[in-house]
Amino acid sequence: MWKTVHMSQDGACPGDFMLQNVNCPRVKLGQEFPRVAFRGHIRSLPKLMEITHASHASHGNHKENSPFLNSSEAGKGGDYYDRNLALFEEELDIRPKVSSLLGKLVNYTNLTQGVKEHEEAENTDGSKKKVSKSPSMGTLMGVYLPCMQNIFGVILFLRLTWMVGMAGVLQSFLIVLLCCCCTMLTTISMSAIATNGVVPAGGSYFMISRSLGPEFGGAVGLCFYLGTTFAGAMYILGAIEILLTYIVPQAAIFHPSGAHDASSAMLNNMRVYGTVFLILMAVVVFVGVKYVNKFASLFLACVVISILSIYAGAIKSIFDPPEFPICMLGNRTLSRDQFDVCAKTVVKDNITVASKLWELFCHSTNLTTEHCDEYFLMNNVSEIAGIPGAASGILIDNLWSNYLEKGEILERAHQPSVDVAGQKNNLHLYVLSDITTSFMVLVGIFFPSVTGIMAGSNRSGDLKDAQKSIPVGTILAIVTTSLVYFSCVLLFGACIEGVVLRDKFGDAVNKNLVVGTLSWPSPWVIVIGSFFSTCGAGLQSLTGAPRLLQAIAKDNIIPFLWIFGHGKANGEPTWALLLTALIAELGILIASLDMVAPILSMFFLMCYLFVNLACAVQTLLRTPNWRPRFKYYHWALSFLGMSICLALMFISSWYYALVAMLIAGMIYKYIEYQGAEKEWGDGIRGLSLSAARYALLRLEEGPPHTKNWRPQLLVLLKLDEDLHVKYPRLLTFASQLKAGKGLTIIGSVIQGNFLETYGEAQAAEQTIKNMMEIEKVKGFCQVVVANKVREGIAHLIQSCGLGGMKHNTVVLGWPYGWRQSEDPRSWKTFIGTVRCTTAAHLALLVPKNVSFYPSNHERYNEGNIDVWWIVHDGGMLMLLPFLLKQHKVWRKCKMRIFTVAQMDDNSIQMKKDLATFLYQLRIEAEVEVVEMHNSDISAYTYERTLMMEQRSQMLRQMRLTKTEREREAQLVKDRHSVARLESLYSDEEDEGDPVPENIQMTWTKEKCDAEKRNRGSAVGSFRDLISIKPNQSNVRRMHTAVKLNEVIVNRSHDARLVLLNMPGPPKNTDGDENYMEFLEVLTEGLERVLLVRGGGREVITIYS
């Protein structure tokens, strides 16, 4: 019985019913309490409403959120938070309840993107929407029978007897075993992948791409597509061969003009009829796949009946072998379609006359002619049984191989004959081998007859329980087909004469299909059955291939295929079907079944190889998501399957294998460089992580040897107010220096609070990544948020990199405009960064005038890179120009090395020693020694020093009076209106005490007097600037800077780039501003300068 709870006027809960686990809040008098229905306890409170305080107390004209549900809310269903989840209510929009998640998963319908919907779309009017049915196909109908239909094909009926005759029963067993082992191991790997989660439509392509990544997925997907397309061409060629050879030979358009033109005429007939068949089949597929699906069962029935007729015929041959006599001339097999009687003479009206056979060999009916073929005269004509039967013991003769060269006559080994040469113009009367055969050729031709194992996984969307049906159905199909192939090999070897087996087109048995001669009740059972089954298989290929291409195109991993993702209104892939027909036409123009079969073998083997690789990689990596329901797999089995696939590729045709690999490699590289980036949680990414982890652990074993040292850069970038990179040429310089080798980290600092400026940091990171892509910098980006920029830079210098993969060199921009700025923070941040890098034992590069550095599109065809080696700093000055010259921008520049000699140095010996040192370093460069004479300090130097110190003193006084000026103006600062930091090398902190936001002052007489005294002292300090005397240490430093600058400008004013040692900052921080001035003087008049400071270790060696 339902109870209704009413609220009392004092807001207390009613006494006759207690709310369980709910605190009843007090509400205002007169406020309506919402009615909630209960059945003994609280059923559910789907959503907890927030309590807000109303600003006014009106009762009906405003909404006040309440912890209880009103009647309208209660009727909306489960859209409200559970009271027990109040702690999580603010995050439920991004972290849904478990019940909501499970509800969505249960309601997920996995509909295939393939044949089923297209068929439904054709049957359904646009106005009516059909309710989608849940997948209902079981193992038998959904996997087993489709796999059987796809595996059994044209090779079984047209080439298996010929393969047994050429390779013998034992080697045929080996061929079948190799191919079936390959597909069985691939099926085990495929079952593991297919049962590791839901596999939507797309089958093998989906499995490989989601397991190995878009590059492998796209490459193998296209290979599988090409294989399926060429399979369609092969089935059409097989159907035409059956039609023109065994059903209606008189339908041939081209006829041989001579005895040796039979093969070329047949190929031309295959091309014409094949093209017609292809067009008809493409039209059928275009009109509607429902017709293909309706006839699928009929085609499968044809295959099954044909195979059963073979077994029936084999059993019957034990007791009553069929009559198919073969005419032998000596031990040579004669083509039976050109004569009736197997004898040299016949008796007509008691008169012995020449037979048709005599006329063919002697070109005359005269029995005494001397122009007969010598072999014909010397050997007897005999007739043997073509189908001796299973009880005849012919199996012993057929155990061993009998490979033939092209044009060789089929001979019976134990038949008596006189070995003499016959006339060449009579060769057309014998049964000849049309191609050169070998074990490897037969492997390539037979392999397509075991493909088709993906049919079950391709229908995963239609299966009731795909994770159970795919492994069971596919493995049973492979076991069944393997047993059929093994038994057929044994039966053919035991029942059929060897020369008949080796007769590909049945010339010896009067143009009958060889396998048809064994069948019961009639050869026509297999002829008609195989014709319809090959036509059906061709239709299935032309139906499946366009959908596979459409799935690849819709994934957008190969941009130029986007057009093939579109089709008819019902999703039918029209453009993909057109391309498929064009590619299949290429296979039909080849016109030979034996030439097309190895091509599609390559593509299928490539696909199976990567299925095995995907399973092996996932198993070895032990990724957390790798939890297949199919447990009977192992990485060793996958590797064995992969090895067999690779071996079969090169066994069957090594040049086709190389071409297939080249095609797959080109597609892989195209997707890698041009295709859309996808993150599918693939195994290759996991493999990369494992390899990276292994390599990083190896790097931890110790610092790199000097021979392996290269600059691993941390580039500190400056961003403007709009988060744009202020000096992109820093990235250009980094790319030219690195040329894609080693580590490059691009770092930047955003000032502020991390919680508030996280979005800004993400935007800045994306901006930097875009600029890195433009400037072709291969590396990583790291943006940190810090309260002070100086601290952020220190954090980057300390923490960038991982393990042994850390930066060893910092690239720092020059603080332009530091002289004009009253704010000292820009150059103080710069000097602080220099000190940080020195303390961290890192090398430092400071490109000055970086805006004048060349872009990646410029080329210097002449010019010099000048190195001024003033002090030894680990060899960085030697190594950097060598690395720059590896890039095409600097490649043609010459390298010059200058060093400075003092008065007491032997400059001639220095030059010789330097040349020897460079020779041992294997660096080509001109060497010059510049002598610097001891000269008196010039008046210019003294004046520059004086001006520098006066400026420093003046700025110091101006900073001291800044607080007083602000106090006089009673400036109120709003910290939110202060513009963001313009330069990376300046902080927002003040050098002195912080100024309070609101200044409230009460002026007394004492304060007023003190203020006047302060103002007077400030004026006096400005007067003291006139009488200042420069510090002698600063004068000496300025003298060095001026003299060096004169020498450098004199020698290197036209150099493309000047590298020189960067002096370290003073230990006493009072001289920081003077240090900046010294650097300015040192580099005056030079267009492009790179200041270099070593990290305290040798980076270049003369030893190998």
Give the mean pLDDT of 784-802. Answer: 88
Q: What angle do CA 36, 38, 18 make, to 5 degrees?
A: 90
Q: What is the pLDDT of residue 229?
A: 92
> 3-state SS of the chain: helix, strand, coil percent to 5?
55, 10, 40
Give the mean pLDDT of 458-477. Answer: 81
Q: What is the DSSP letter of 144?
A: I
Handedness of CA 51, 52, 54, 59 (dihedral sign): negative
461 within 8 A of 110, measured Cβ to Cβ = yes
What pLDDT band is residue 171 in, cutting at 50, 70 and 90?
A: very high
Q: What is the pLDDT of residue 972?
A: 40
DSSP bridge partners of 715: 746, 811
347 within 8 A of 335, measured Cβ to Cβ = no
Q: What is the pLDDT of residue 242?
A: 92
What pLDDT band is residue 1046 in, cutting at 50, 70 and 90?
A: confident
pLDDT digits (tens, 9 = 90+) for 402-456: 999 988 888 888 888 888 877 777 788 888 888 899 999 999 999 999 988 887 7
What pLDDT band is residue 1087 in, cutting at 50, 70 and 90?
A: confident
Give the mean pLDDT of 222-235. Answer: 89
Q: Is the model's pLDDT at 49 over the cut of 90?
A: no
CA distances from 388 to 173, 318, 945 (A): 22, 9, 117
Q: Is the model's pLDDT at 548 over the cut of 90?
A: no
Asked which of 494-498, 515-519, 995-999 is least confident by mean pLDDT, the reply is: 995-999
Distance CA 88, CA 108 (A): 26
Helix pair angle (160-194, 593-621), 10° resolution: 30
pLDDT digits (tens, 9 = 90+) for 242-299: 999 889 888 888 887 765 667 788 889 999 999 999 999 999 888 877 777 777 788 8
Q: What is the CA radius of gyration of the chain?
A: 44
Distance CA 120, CA 132 (A): 10
Q: What is the dihedral of CA 39, 43, 48, 51, to 10 degrees?
A: 20
Q: What is the pLDDT of residue 1027?
A: 52
Distance CA 86, CA 50 (A): 10
Distance CA 935, CA 210 (A): 75
1063 within 8 A of 814, measured Cβ to Cβ = no
Distance CA 13, CA 33 (A): 11
Q: What is the DSSP letter of 247?
A: I
pLDDT digits (tens, 9 = 90+) for 130-170: 444 556 678 888 888 888 888 888 889 899 999 999 999 99
Q: What is the DSSP letter of 737?
A: H
Top pLDDT among 92 and 395 is at: 395
Q: What is the dihedral of CA 42, 43, 49, 55, to 10 degrees?
A: -40
pTM above 0.85, yes or no: no
What pLDDT band is residue 719 in, cutting at 50, 70 and 90?
A: confident
Asked which of 97-101, 400-404, 856-860, 924-928 is least confident by mean pLDDT, the reply is: 97-101
Asked which of 102-111, 232-241, 844-853 is least confident by mean pLDDT, the reply is: 102-111
Distance CA 832, CA 828 (A): 6
Q: Is the model's pLDDT at 69 over the cut of 60?
A: no
Helix pair angle (439-446, 160-194), 10° resolution: 60
449 within 8 A of 160, measured Cβ to Cβ = yes
Q: Strands, E, within 340-412: which ranges?
A: 345-348, 351-354, 381-385
What pLDDT band is residue 641 in, cutting at 50, 70 and 90?
A: very high
